[in-house]
Structures are given as C-alpha cells and as structure tokens.
Amino acid sequence: MINLLDIRYVRLGTRDSGQANRFAREVLGLEQVRQESGATYFRSDSRDHTLVYFEGDPSDHTLGFELRTADELDQAAAELSNSGVEVRAGTPDECEQRHVGAFVHFKDPTGNKIDLVVNPHHSGRRYFPSRDAGITGFSHVGLCTTDAARDERFWTQMLSARVSDRIGEAALLRIDEVHHKVALFPTTRPGIQHVNHQVESVDDIMRAWYMLKKADVPIAFGPGRHPTSGAMFLYFRGPDDMIFEYSSGVRLIRAEDEATYQPRQFPRAEESFCMWGSVPDIAEFRRPQGAGAQT
C-alpha cells in the first residue's frame, strides 16, 4: 500500500491567467510567490506553493501528494505499474516546475491526474498573505468520480486513504488525523471539484461572506456547517467555474481512535451537507431530481 504523507498542491489550467491571478491574490488572499514558464505560484502556508495557475485548458487539473522517501516513491511506482496503472517519472524540467526532488505521475480510475512527490520545497520566509483572509493553509480537495465505489476501493486499497464518512455514495477520505483530505463526488467528468483552505475561525468565514457579496463573487454554498466533519464553511466560485471553500473547525480523528472509528452513512440530502439549513448551488451536492432521501 502507498502511504500518502500529506496533500501538497493543486495545479489548475486557465485561459485567462490575469483574471485567475488577481482572484488568487485579491479574493482568495494567497501570497503570490513567483511567475515562471507560463505559470503563477501561490502559497497559503510554509510550503513553497500550494496553488498554481498555468496557461492551458481549464479542465486540466493535477493534485499533488507528498511521500516520505525516494525509496517509497520507487515502491509506489512499482506497485501502481504492477496493478496495471500507467506511471511515468517526472522529467528534470517538470521537477523544477513543481519545486520537488522527484515525482511520478499517474491517473486514478476516473482519470484524475495525480503527482506523488518527494523532497518538496518549503519556503524560508514567513507566509505573508495578500489580504487578511485568516487562511492557515491548503487542506483538501473535492475530487470528481465517475464510479464512486470503484474509486473508493482504489484510494483505500492502493493509496492508504481511510473512509471517515459517506454522503450517499460520496466518500470522505482521510490520510492523517484530519477528517478528510479528499472527498469523492459522483459526477460525469474527471477533475478537481473544489479546493479548500482552512481559516482560523467563523469570524473569518463571515468576514469573507460580506467581502465576497460586496465584490459580486458568486456564493455557491453557505455560510453553513457540515454535520460530517463539523467544519463551518463557505463555498464560492472562482475563475473557470472552479469552486473554492473556506472552512474552520474540522474534526480530527486521532490515532488512538482509529481502531474503533466507524464511518457514518449520511443520505444524499441537503441536511447531510449543512446542519444549519444552507442550500447548495453545487450540482454534486444536490439531491438528484426524483430521488428519495437515500441514494
């Protein structure tokens, strides 16, 4: 089994790098690190970068995870290849672009692009945001799946993830003590469905809500609170219709609780996504028309 250490970055293609970069700075509140080779790098914590906008197809998304050692990377590549997954090693130029020592690239069964990296760069400077958004770091992604049961098996049997809870068929997966680092949402396409940043408190969420409304940034969901992770949240739409989320207060599942923790099953219903009553304007969160409470 491939033991993922932590989520590392997302790389998002965009047709309008100017708009995307302004959004990352002025709306999200990330720190711009550099521009190079048609890409702009942003960070939200002590990592060298956590979000990259590059000039390209807006449906072209890559998600990066860190492994501990070069030996683990070699073993992961072999394990994936032996399981029939096409794997390729990153070139020196690609490693330089990602600011990592080495990486391998593959796709999960839906076609989501995944990098496994070792020796990713950290920043020697304190994170200095472009505005006071209260961000404490990049935390998780929603990931599209065209076959939820198949992809859950892949992520849990091949990539060491554990199921924390399910909403309908959507599995919320953890790789450490944080309730989830990947959430698999059934849909008809591959790609990243949303990008989450943690903020310090509900005050930051409410400040963001007022700021986003004033700036005419479309609110997709919230403010609200997830009954699964317990996190308070706000989802909003960015360039290329990518959804971003601020959240605070996510549940932790400690190592001493692993042996006895039992994932909970929630119906695919609005109240399973928000216990406060907010209604999502997000296709993957809505109950299918004509469906009952349980799917």
Peptide bond into 58 cis (omega under 30): no
278 and 149 belong to one structural domain: yes
User: Which tens digit of pLDDT belongs to each residue from 178-190?
Assistant: 999 999 999 999 9
Residue 204 lies in a domain: yes
Residues 201-248 have pLDDT tens digits of 999 999 999 999 999 999 999 999 999 999 999 999 999 999 999 999
Query: Helices (DSSP H) in the chain: which residue ranges?
Result: 17-22, 70-82, 92-98, 148-153, 202-214, 270-273
Mean pLDDT rounded to a whole number for the chain: 95
Residues 258 and 144 in one domain: yes
Report residue 279: phi and psi, to 5°.
-105, 125
Q: How many CB atoms lie within 10 A of CB 111?
A: 12
Q: Please check whether residues 100 and 149 belong to one and the same domain.
A: no
pLDDT tens digit string along 91-121? 999 999 999 999 999 999 999 999 999 999 9
Domain containing 155: what range? Answer: 135-285
Residue 239 sits in a domain whose CATH number is 3.10.180.10
Q: Is residue 153 part of a domain?
A: yes
How far is residue 295's CA from residue 256's CA, in Å, rounded to a whole number?
32
How many domains does the chain fold into? 2
Are 207 and 265 part of one and the same domain? yes
pLDDT in the model for residue 286: 83
